[in-house]
Amino acid sequence: MKLLVTGGGGFIGSNLANLLVKKGYEIRILDNFSTGYRKNLLNFDMEIIDGDVRDKECVNKAMNGVEIVFHLAAHIGNVKSLNNPYEDSEINVLGTINILEAARKGVKKIVYSSSAAIFGELLTMPIDENHLQNPDSPYGVSKLSAEKQMLCFAKLYDMTVVCLRYFNVYGVHQRYDAYGNVIPIFANRLFSGKPLIIYGGGEQTRDFVNVKDVAKANFLASQKAEKSGVYNVGSGTNITVNYLAQIVQESSGISTAIQYEAPRKGEVKHCKADITKIKNELGFEPDADIKTGLKEYFDWYKKDIQEK
């Protein structure tokens, strides 16, 4: 069975691709490597197509002979989308439609990487899949739009679509990006001898889920989901950013000052996933506690920056 992973050179995509290869599947990667890294895939035998999901011809080529698609290629980040809303929609919405148009000619299942950013500010905690979807950023809007396109195509054509709504993913292969997740940003500042910057009072909460668990959720969705639908993918727990600042210093072995700045636009105050549905229907159980996951991440991070 041939599987396609779009964005397979990226942080989450490469962890998923590596998992699938270990399980014996034939893998094809579609990635323009604008944010992904070829070295994430060097230790595994897989076909790589260098291309962009906005390129219809390239997408059609990548889809040839594929039975299952994992669609992860995306313009990622709430703050990043505020600065580049056009590009955000081009990649996340139009690129997804290209995937769907090519896939409907023979693909049996698509597992789509959505985001908790579709919810916006939470009205209830923990948040389940039926929570009001009122995104606070262009990124959240584009991911919600793409998710709706996915579910629409599933109704119109003979294929199953599973949308996975990721909460705050962290782990191996996650490199520094000024627009990205707080954990690699903290790592970059720690190893550069700079203070950690916390926006707001630091009592905002996040549900951090290890990328290994996210890869596992994708695999389970591809194997066990019998009908189209949506699932939260998180740890089912949350911690404050202030506590995160404490444990990243413990896990990295580096102590530094903490600097507080004004809150940023487009960011929610609190976040915690209800993962009951994915547990009950797909058998998903997050494995790694955050302290163990952070230790593994910092071990990888130190090696990665030494190789640059």
- Options 25, 86, 112, 139, the catalytic residue: 139
Residue 25 is a catalytic residue: no
Contact at 8 Å (CB) between 234 and 207? yes
Name the DSSP class of 106. Answer: T
Q: Are 45 and 51 in contact (CB under 8 A)?
A: no
The closest of 104, 168, 97 to 89, measured between CA atoms, is 97
The alpha carbon of 229 is separated from its chain's Cα centroid by a whole number of angstroms, namely 18
Tokens of 154: 């599933």
Do 83 and 109 touch, CB atoms closer than 8 A? no
Q: Which CB contacts under 8 angstroms, 24+ apart, belong to 299-306?
A: 300/172, 300/173, 301/184, 301/187, 301/191, 302/191, 304/175, 305/191
Tell me the three state secondary structure of residue 113. Answer: strand
Positions marked catalytic: 139
